[in-house]
Amino acid sequence: MNPDRKIFRKKDKACRLAGNAAAYLTGDLNDEERQAFERHLAACPDCARELESARRIIGVMKTLEPAGVPHDLTPAILARVDPRYPGRQTPTFRHIHAIAAALSLLLGGAIGFQALHKQHAVSRLSRPVTGLNQQMASACGGAVAWLCRTQEPDGSWNAAAWGGDKQFGLALSSLAVMAILGSEPVSEERAATVRKAVGYLVKQQDTTGTFGPLFSSAPYNQGITTLALLRAFNEFHDEGLRQPIDKAVAAICRNQAPEGGWGYCGETAQQPNLSVTLWQTEALKLAVRLGWNKARPNVQRAVHWVASIADDRGSFGYQRANDIPSETQTLTAMGAMAILNAHDNTISPDHRKLIFDELWKSAMSSNKTSDYYRTYFLTATMKDLPDTTNVNQLAIIRRSIVHGQIALGSEKGSWPPNDRWGSIGGRVYATAMASLSLE
C-alpha cells in the first residue's frame, strides 16, 4: 500500500464526547454542558477535528434548498416513542427534538443527523449537492483545477506572473492551499498538490518561526501561512507539521501588542489594526481548537481588543472605534468574524446582537463580487452562525460569486483580479478568495 494513503483512512476510535460537537454548534447544549465541552476541547484534538467537521456539514445543511414535507412529523414521531420499551430511558425534549429534526432532514433529501458523527473524510464524499450547491461545487472544482495547473515546480504560486505583488507570495500560495483544501473531495491528486505546497511553505520559515523576509506587511504572510499549515495539519494529521506550527504560533504570540492586537512591522508595530489582527487571530483560534492550548490567552486578548474597537452600533473601526479610513463593510465583516465564532462568553449577548445586525446590513449591500476580500469574511462568518435568517442572503452573494467565474479559455476556472485589491493579490488571490467564499 502507498504509505501516503494513510491520510485518507478512517480512525478506528473516536472520543465518546465527539457526538456533542453538532449540539454545541446548534446551541442544543445547556450552559453547564457547553462549558464542560469547551474545557474538554482544549485537551482533545479528536473533538476539535469533529467540531470542524460538524461546522462544515452544518454550513452545507443551512444552504440546502428546502424540500416540502406534507405534514408536521412531530406527533407521529412522539407516538412511536415508547417509554415501556425494556431499558429505554424516558426521552427528554432535546432528544425528541433531535429525532424529529433528523427524520425531517432525511425525508427532505438532506444529510441524516448521524452524518454529523461520521469522520469528515467519509462524510464529505457523500453529501447531497443540489441547485446552488451543485453550482458552487462545480465552481470550486474549476478553481482548484486552475490552481493545480498553475502551481510552480517548487510548490509555490508565482504572484507576479498572475498580476500580484511578489512580497505577498507566501500569503498567496497559502490562500491557494486553503482553497484546494476547502474544495471537496480532496482527491489524492489534489492532496499531492497541497503536500508539495506545504513543503515549500515550511522551507520559507526561519529559526524564529517567521515566514519569509521582514517588511512592513510581513504579518500577513505570517498569519495566513500559519493558518494554511494548520488546515493542512487538520486534514492530513501529519505530525511532521507539528514543529513548524509550534514555531509559527509562538512567533505570532510573541509579536502580539500589549493591547491585544497586531500591527505592521517597523515603526507602527505597536499600533494594532483590525486587518492584520484578523489573520493572526484566525490562525490562533484554529491552533487552539487543534490542541495548541498555550495560545488560548492570546486569542482571548485578541478578541477583547477587537470588541473594544466596535462602536455602540456594533460597527468596527480600523485601529479604534469610529476610525474608518476607507469603508466600513470590510471592517464590519472582519470584526464579526473575529468575535461571533470565538465562543467567548465575555462578549455579552446584546453586544453580539449589535454586531450581527451590522453584519446583516453589510450583507444586504454586498450582492456583487466587487471585493473578494470583504466577501470572504462576510460569507465565512455568515455560514458559521446558527441563525438561519441569513441563508437566503448568503445564497444571493454566493450566486454572484459563481457568475463571476471565467468559463472559457486558458483562464477557465479562475476569477479576474478586478477588485480594489487585485493589483496586490492578482489572479491567484481573486481565485482563492472567491473559492473560499463558496466553501
311-350 per-position pLDDT tens digit:
888 788 898 888 776 667 888 888 888 887 666 566 667 7
pLDDT of residue 125: 35
Higher-pLDDT residue of 16, 148: 148
CA distance linking residue 429 with residue 207, whole number of Å: 28
What is the reported pTM?
Answer: 0.69
**Over residues 147-161, mean pLDDT:** 96
* pLDDT over threshold 50, residue 157: yes
Q: How far is CA 14 from the centre of its chain?
A: 23
Phi-psi region of 157 (alpha: psi -120 to 50; beta: other; left: phi over 0): beta
How far is it, in rounded angstroms, from Cα 230 to Cα 388? 29
Contact between 52 and 120 under an 8 Å Cβ cutoff? The reply is: yes
Comparison of pLDDT for 165 and 132, the residue scoring more: 165
Q: What mean pLDDT, rounded, does the chain reach?
A: 78
Place of cell 453589510: 362
Q: Is the pLDDT of residue 205 over 90?
A: yes
Task: Count other C-beta atoms under 10 Å from residue 23's C-beta.
Answer: 18
Tens digits of per-residue pLDDT, 88-146? 444 444 444 554 444 444 444 444 434 444 344 333 333 333 578 889 899 999 999 99
Q: Which residues pair with 211 in a beta bridge?
A: 205
| 90 or 173: which leads in pLDDT | 173
Cβ neighbors of 134 (< 8 A, separation 6 or more) are: none
pLDDT number for residue 81: 53
The confidence band for 11, taking pLDDT boundaries of 50, 70 and 90, is very low
End-to-end CA distance of the chain: 31
- How is domain 132-437 classified at the architecture level of CATH? Alpha/alpha barrel (1.50)
The residue ranges of every structural domain in the chain are 16-123, 132-437
The average pLDDT across 287-295 equals 95
Q: Span 145-159, mean pLDDT?
A: 96
Whether omega for the bond prior to residue 185 falls within 30 degrees of 0, making it cis, is: yes
Mean pLDDT of 216-239: 96
CB 227, CB 282: distance < 8 Å: yes
Average pLDDT over residues 421-438: 93
Mean pLDDT is lowest, of 23-37, 82-96, 172-186, 354-368, for 82-96
Q: Where are the alpha helices (DSSP H) in 256-364?
A: 274-289, 296-308, 328-340, 349-364
Each residue of 392-417: pLDDT tens digit? 778 888 888 999 999 998 899 999 99
Sort residue 426 into left (φ over 0), alpha (ψ -120 to 50) or beta. left
Interatomic CA distance for residues 118 and 140, integer angstroms = 23
Phi-psi region of 229 (alpha: psi -120 to 50; beta: other; left: phi over 0): alpha
- Residues 229 and 231: their CA atoms lie apart, in Å, by 5
What is the tens place of the pLDDT at every residue in 240-289? 999 999 999 999 999 999 999 999 987 555 689 999 999 999 999 999 99
Please report which confidence band the pLDDT of residue 32 belongs to, taking 50, 70 and 90 as the band edges: confident
| CA dist list (Å): 100 to 79, 84, 168, 238 | 12, 20, 49, 39
